[in-house]
Amino acid sequence: MISRASVVAAVLAVTLAGCGGGDDSDAGQPAASGAVETLPSCEETWVVGETLPADYDGCVITGNEVQVFSPGECPSGAQYATYEDRYFAIPGEAVQEVTSGDIFSDPDFTEFTESC
């Protein structure tokens, strides 16, 4: 008969064998887990003229690197999202792109944030 301690030791040994070693190239990157695994790719999400999903929570940049929805707020109380300091939209509305290289000095983005 196998003792309970032997089973626990075997399970612990197998569990610990999966730890350590390996490639640390993703160290410091947010890991995709749970609901994050269902996020769409940023490349497919942030398309000028296409609608930013109304339930936008973020997107996957590459691999397991995630862009989390960190909303800005409009004077109307609506929330907007930005991506790569280049794209902006209110979830459920069309994605727009800055016209001047810097989102924070772009006249279209300034007008958008003052009137949305």
Q: Each residue of 80-94: pLDDT tens digit?
A: 999 999 999 999 999
pLDDT at 90: 97
CB 75 within 8 A of CB 82: no
Mean pLDDT of 98-106: 88
109 — phi, psi (to 5°)?
-70, -40
The residue among 29 and 101 whose pLDDT is bigger is 101
Name the DSSP letter for residue 96. Answer: E
Q: Could you tell me where the beta strands, DSSP code E, fall in 23-107? A: 58-62, 65-68, 72-73, 79-83, 87-89, 96-97
Tell me the C-alpha distance between 26 and 87, whole Å: 26
CB 22 within 8 A of CB 61: no
